[in-house]
Amino acid sequence: MSRRGLLAVFLLLGACQRSSSEPPRTASVLDAGVAAVAPVTASPPATQAKPDASTAAVTALSVCHSEGKSPLEAARHYYDDERYEEALSCAAQAAALEPDNAEAHAERGMALSALDRVPEAQMAFARALAIDPDSPDGLLGAAHLYAVDLPSSRERDELGLLYSERGLAKPGMVPDMVVQFALISAMAFNDLGQADEALARAAIVLAHEPNNREATYERALALFELCRFSEAKAAFSALLSDPEHGAHAHQHVGLLLEREGKWKQAQVHFDKARELAPEDFPVPPLPSEADFRTQVANAVAALPEDMRKDLEGIPVAAEEIPVDDDLLSGEPPLSPTILGLFRGPPLGEPCDGSETPCRSVVLYRRNLARAVRTPQELLEQIQVTLLHEVGHLRGEDDEELAARGLE
């Protein structure tokens, strides 16, 4: 199960008021705020444009059975009971009766998100936050959608983080909502490589809920990324038997044992992680050390002429994993899972004379192999990583390289 699936399960178990069970996708489409009318089956006149394929089969919502509650209260009740179609019907009625009620549109967005109707959920949350930029349910729903429900990308994680951090900063937020916002922020910060911030947000959750397993996992991951290896090892070891986090805990304990040079013990944990989550941890296409050096040399030879010229006199080495001195050379530390590293000042800046040569590039065999699934993908990733490090050689930072697709 992916990390995003883990939080979805965690939320479903009651840590958040609003959750998503990720049911199968549906093809029905709704207008914003009111139930759609079933389509007429007769062919349209020749002068009319034919309906778009995405709107050709629209299903009307059922009538909201509020059972003496207001439509909004009924929507929340149905949502908490995981009856998402009924929640959507009542939320749509609430939004139709009170079109300027941000919470009604947010509730509708949550039901749509639970039904995996993402474009409609995005519009519902956008409308809720346009009405009230500080709507707690609107902020929470949008944060969860972008940082948890949808596949991870930098833009989605950043957007989800903006929503969760806005909710977390809102004065007077009830403790339960604080926990939910802080948990989403911790996950987004970890995904964005800002482990120090992730650690702080996980601490907020654990201060309220010391046994919160998802926050415990995010804390362990942040400790690992911050190179606080002994603390990370203890944190992940405590999660080895956890049904939701065990596979990732085994993988990280393996990575930590690998750093200690305990290769056979590390492999036991890698194998267990693969057994528990084969999709997340496939067998890496690990070439021999000699073959990897050849692949790196071939990647250098395939660079454009101007890049090869920039690399003249700069060694490009192949190593197994990053050493502590390299990871701890800056603040914050580098991730132990980096694929490559450029050492030294950019071209045009003077060397300090402490090392000869003062500039070098290294690519990491084991980290690269774990980042891909096939030998062909490995060759491609070696080339991308090499381009990334040449970018650093030329003075580009990580944000600039990410904007060019060399993250």
- In a structure prediction context, what are the per-residue pLDDT tens digits for the chain, which is 407 residues long? 333 343 443 444 444 433 333 333 333 322 333 333 333 333 344 444 444 444 445 578 889 998 889 999 999 999 999 999 999 999 999 999 999 999 999 999 999 999 999 999 999 999 999 999 999 999 999 999 999 999 999 999 999 999 999 999 999 999 999 999 999 999 999 999 999 999 999 999 999 999 999 999 999 999 999 999 999 999 999 999 999 999 999 999 999 999 999 999 999 999 999 999 999 999 999 999 999 999 999 999 999 999 999 999 999 999 999 999 999 988 899 999 999 999 999 988 888 766 678 899 999 999 999 999 999 999 999 999 999 999 988 887 767 766 666 66
**Structure token digits, residue 315:** 């060694």
Report CA-CA distances (Å) from 208 to 14, 78, 169, 178. 15, 27, 16, 9
What residues does each domain of the chain span? 3-22+59-225, 229-276, 289-403
Residues 6+ apart with CB under 8 A from 44: 50, 51
Residues 6+ apart with CB under 8 A from 248: 3, 6, 217, 221, 239, 273, 277, 280
| The CATH classification of domain 289-403, taken from the options 3.30.2010.20, 3.30.230.10, 3.40.50.1110, 3.40.50.300 | 3.30.2010.20
CB atoms within 10 A of CB 199: 21
Phi and psi, residue 45, nearest 5°: -60, 160
Phi and psi, residue 229, nearest 5°: -65, -40
Q: What letter does residue 373 receive in the DSSP assignment?
A: S
| The CATH classification of domain 3-22+59-225, taken from the options 1.25.40.10, 1.10.1040.10, 3.90.1150.10, 3.40.50.1820 | 1.25.40.10
Phi and psi, residue 374, nearest 5°: -135, 160
Q: Are 384 and 376 in contact (CB under 8 A)?
A: no
Q: What is the CA radius of gyration of the chain?
A: 25
Tokens 């990053």, located at residue: 322
